[in-house]
Amino acid sequence: MNGARLVSAAGTPLDDGGGVSRRACLAALSAPATWLAAPSFAHAGGQLEEPLMDSVRTALSSAIANQAPPEPHFFTTEARIHYLRWLAAMSDRLRRRKPEWEVRRDFLQTAWYESKRAGLDVSLVLGLIQVESAFRKYAVSSVGARGYMQVMPFWTRVIGDGDAGKLFQMQTNLRFGCVILRHYIDRERGDLFMALGRYNGSRGRSPYPDAVFGAQRNWLFGEKPQLPAA
């Protein structure tokens, strides 16, 4: 599962076999006009199964256990208005991928909720989803990772009920993906570069983290999407 590569919907590698170049990833994934018009693909997400301490396993299991609908609650009117403005802006950017308003709303609301629940920046999570699955709910990579956040099936056995089919359910997939990413960030003591590499199974190598950071620019609220520096 190491050395995961971008693959087409048919499973064809999108690089020449020598790995994904930084410039190719950023150029293909960061510019909205490019990724919105490109064919759907699934990034070969390759989290590696590693032994977990009982306390860590218990904490992760608890983190994914509550499947209540993601209903945001706000303590102030300003916070609610900020969220609604974010939702409108993100909905407009996601329109080509998800044309139906209700589908976009439910996806974005869930992504926002699960990101906040896990203590993650929602723009980072959306950037990761763009790179991993191009926002395809039923994406499957060449190594078997599933859904929006390309979660490996072994996680459902390690911290869930063992039903890998649930990884195609929107909230379940986003819940698992966010909890796993949070776990990796904690393991790497806050180092996002290393945590993203661990999420992809390419820890210490730059193409995947650079691609996610580039894609994240498309989802920064209050700023126009920016092209990466040449």
> What pLDDT was estimated at residue 197?
95
> What pLDDT was estimated at residue 66?
72
Question: How far from 227 is each of 87, 114, 132, CA to CA, in Å?
Answer: 22, 27, 19
> What pLDDT was estimated at residue 147?
95
HEC readout, the chain: CCCCCEEECCCCECCCCCCCCHHHHHHHHHCHHHHHHCCCEEECCCCCCCCCCHHHHHHHHHHHHCCCCCCCCCCCHHHHHHHHHHHHHHHHHHCCCCCCHHHHHHHHHHHHHHHHHCCCCHHHHHHHHHHHHCCCCCCECCCCCECCCCECCHHHHHHCCCCHHHHHCHHHHHHHHHHHHHHHHHHCCCCHHHHHHHHHCCCCCCHHHHHHHHHHHHHCCCCCCCCCCC
d(CA 39, CA 221): 26
Q: Is residue 131 a contact partner of residue 217, using CB atoms and an 8 Å limit? A: no
Q: Residue-wise pLDDT tens for the chain (230 aa)?
A: 333 333 333 333 333 333 333 343 434 334 433 333 333 445 455 776 676 667 777 878 887 887 666 888 889 999 999 999 999 999 999 999 999 999 999 999 999 999 999 999 999 999 999 999 999 999 999 889 999 999 999 999 888 888 999 999 999 999 999 999 999 999 999 999 999 999 998 888 999 999 999 999 999 998 554 444 43
> What pLDDT was estimated at residue 73?
85
Residue 216 CB partners (closer than 8 Å, separation 6+):
121, 123, 124, 126, 127, 128
